A and B are shown apart, each in its own frame.
Chain A
Amino acid sequence: MSAPTLDVTGLTVRFGGLVALNSFDFALRSEELVGLIGPNGSGKTTFFNALTGIYPPASGRVTLGNDDITGLQPQRIYDAGITRTFQRLRLALSLSVFDNLMIGNHRNLYHGIKGNLFGRKRLRQQVEENVESSRRLLEQFSAPLATRLFDSVFQLPMIDRRRVEVCRALISSPQILLLDEPSAGMTHEETRALMDDLLASRERMPGLAIILIEHEMGVIERVSDRCVVLNYGQKIAEGSYRDVSGDHKVRAAYLGED
């Protein structure tokens, strides 16, 4: 088994007196897909936010490969190769699909002021390359969507917006993808289609590891290699879906004590 890509030890996040995440230990290997589950308010999204630098951790340590990335700015976390989607979509609705994808590809683009305003040879080349690669990526999720590359995201239905958000997180070829409840606001069928496409595109991205926050247990059961269960900011169980779903602490967390 390969060494863990992401190693989290004792990660704690506090909001005043509330401990949103309590001494959380977590490891993720390359190419693994881990489901992160737990009732509402159990600290799943807090974990993502602490990992991606949106919330500063109170204590603990996060390493990616050999690098300590604890408490880095979101920009540096992205540069290190961790990208994410958001529970409530955070796309730029007024911008085109292509623009949104290019926001996700920031680290591979050229941002010098001179070359962007004058000459523009490099800009032209990058635009042309990225139009192609964006089309290819979108086609893996939906062929009709790939033809709407220059439409504004505002005109797209929910499922396509989700696809755009997932593609935005994938286009820079990250090491780790964090998916925060991709099924929210979608039907079972749409969720299934999105997950199938995602699994298929994972084949083309060697090494990509995924952490998936999800409330739909059917999805977790089908796609995850391993599950981690959070409750009140604490890890209460870890293992295969079968083990975890049989665990009495997990049942109590979801259904209440007997």
Chain B
Amino acid sequence: MTPGKRDFRALIVAAGLAALFVVLFLHLEAQWAIALLALGLVLGLYFAVRAGLLARVQAAASHHPRAAIAINTIAGIAIIAVLREEHFALLMLATVCLFVTVCLGLTIQFGYAGIVNFSGIAFFGIGAYTTAVLTAHSAIPHLLIIIVSGLVSGLIGSLLILPMLRTRGHYAALVTIAFGILFRTFLEVNDTLGGPQGLKVEGMRILGWSLNDNISLGPLGTVSFYASYAMLALFVAAAAFTLIKRLERSWIGLNLDAVRTDETAAASFGIDVPRWKIFAFTAGNCLAGVAGAIYAMMSGYIAPASFNFGDSLLLVSIVLLGGSGSALGVLPAALLVVVLPEKLQIIQEYRLLLFAVLVILILRFRPDGLLPRTMREYLPGWGRK
């Protein structure tokens, strides 16, 4: 077998296992099975990292970056196909994909450039509210609205970063906390944006086709309308993943890392620290805004209560759980953090408490996360030189 074929086999096996796991995790109802699967995921990843299996798959993926993304996107489509009739499972899958997109944005900000953002959900919310307003009051095509929502989010973020540039360390984090709270309070008192009741949002339409209709396959049954949203969210997450990997493997990714590790040293070697901080913060918030836009159309209704400070903390905990700066780590972490409280009723009430404990445990015992970030590989197959 040629090395190329072996790479493809490794990628397909890994994607297949991941898809099988996701299907079981979303489909099964028994509490013990869910708990067992979650535990299995954490331990499985731990041993896959220790035994070098994961390094093998990552090497294959770095050798064939496009194929890796394609295979995993196909695996995602397969998951949607298998779960096609289950509204709830598909809703969760779509939510996971959207959270992955937001957390990839946070990875650019925190994992690469070192900017702590405790208002991730606010930028998600800006995207959602922009979409609600634009779908109700303009004739802009919905796909375009998603992009505009991302840009609005990024723009507001780039204004917020300006005072943050003048602060260091904890103070920058405080600015984002304040912004997150300010955003929610503003929504609650602002009557044009629906106040505490929130706004209704139209379902998405692409070229006259409404994503909110179930698709009938005649004798084969009906495909849930959530499958369309899950597909859209999957493609957006895959695009975000591709983009962030390319970003990491470039001189820009290096600039961001230099800014995070040592601002003084970075400046002493010509790196324009404010410029790259603005870039990272804006790019990350654009991703959050895009995800928020799709979320708004999918859920049909948004209210300030969906954009709590606690949700921002959940986003940060996903990034820490996956491994700071590890794009791949965001995937299992988002799956666990989003799905577990929905499926395990016992922990629903305690979810913030549990994730707080989880973050403490991660920082104490595995500070690099479930899937630690690997060395930068500028070119495909870099590791085999």
Residues of A within 8 A of B (CB): 52-54, 73-75, 77-79, 83-84, 86, 90-96, 99, 102-104, 106-107, 109-111, 113, 116-118, 120, 123-124, 126-128, 150, 152, 168, 172
Contacts and interface: CB of A to CB of B under 8 A. Distances in A.
Interface string B240-258: 0001001100111011011
Nearest to B250: A116
A96 B258 contact: no
Given A90-B265, A92-B258, 12 more contacts: A54-B267, A74-B268, A74-B270, A84-B268, A90-B268, A92-B265, A95-B257, A95-B261, A103-B254, A103-B258, A113-B279, A117-B243
Interface string B356-385: 000000000000000000011011001101
Is the contact region of chain B dominated by helix, strand, or loop, or is it mixed? Answer: helix
* Most B CB within 10 A of own CB, among A53, A109, A124: A109
B269 interface: yes
The 3 A-B pairs of least Cβ separation, nearest first, read: A92-B261, A116-B250, A90-B265
Nearest to B251: A109
Contacts of A92: 257-258, 261-262, 265
29 contacts: A73-B267, A75-B270, A75-B271, A83-B268, A83-B269, A86-B265, A90-B265, A91-B265, A92-B257, A92-B262, A92-B265, A93-B261, A94-B257, A95-B375, A99-B254, A102-B254, A103-B265, A103-B271, A104-B269, A107-B270, A113-B252, A116-B246, A116-B251, A118-B246, A120-B246, A123-B378, A150-B375, A150-B383, A168-B269
Contacts of B267: 53-54, 73-75
Interface string B67-94: 0000000000000000000000000000
A78 B271 CA distance: 9
A111 B272 CA distance: 11
B240 to A, nearest CB: 12
B23 interface: no
A103 B378 contact: no
Interface residues of B, number: 29
Interface string B271-295: 1100000010000000000000000
A90 B264 contact: yes
A96 B375 contact: yes
Contacts of B265: 86, 90-92, 103
Contact of B251 (A52, A54, A111, A150): A111
B272 A75 contact: yes
* Most A CB within 10 A of own CB, among B252, B261, B269, B382: B269
B266 interface: yes
Contacts of A91: 262, 265
Given A103-B266, A116-B252, A127 B378 contact: yes
Contacts of B272: 75
Interface string B205-226: 0000000000000000000000
Contacts of B376: 95-96, 99
Contacts of B383: 150
B196 to A, nearest CB: 40
Given A93-B261, A95-B257, A95-B376, A123 B268 contact: no
A53 B273 CA distance: 14
Contacts of B252: 111, 113, 116-117
Contacts of B254: 95, 99, 102-103
B269 A124 contact: no
A168 B379 CA distance: 22
A188 B351 CA distance: 57
Contact of A111 (B243, B255, B269): B255
A123 B258 contact: no
Contacts of A75: 267, 270-272
Contacts of B262: 90-92
A79 B270 contact: yes
Nearest to B258: A103
Interface string B145-183: 000000000000000000000000000000000000000
Nearest to B268: A74
Contact of A117 (B250, B261, B268): B250
B375 A123 contact: no
A73 B250 CA distance: 25
Interface in B226-250: 243, 246-247, 250
A94 B271 CA distance: 18
Nearest to B325: A94
Contacts of B247: 116-117
B379 A106 contact: no
B270 A124 contact: no
Nearest to A54: B264
Contact of B268 (A52, A93, A99, A109): A52
Contacts of B379: 124, 127-128
Given A95-B376, A150-B375, A123 B251 contact: yes
Contacts of A78: 268-270
Contacts of B375: 95-96, 150, 152
Given A78-B269, A99-B376, A103-B271, A94 B250 contact: no
B261 A94 contact: yes
Contacts of A152: 375
A235 B201 CA distance: 72
A150 B266 CA distance: 20
B5 to A, nearest CB: 25
Nearest to A48: B268
Nearest to A89: B265
A134 to B, nearest CB: 12
Contacts of A74: 264, 267-268, 270
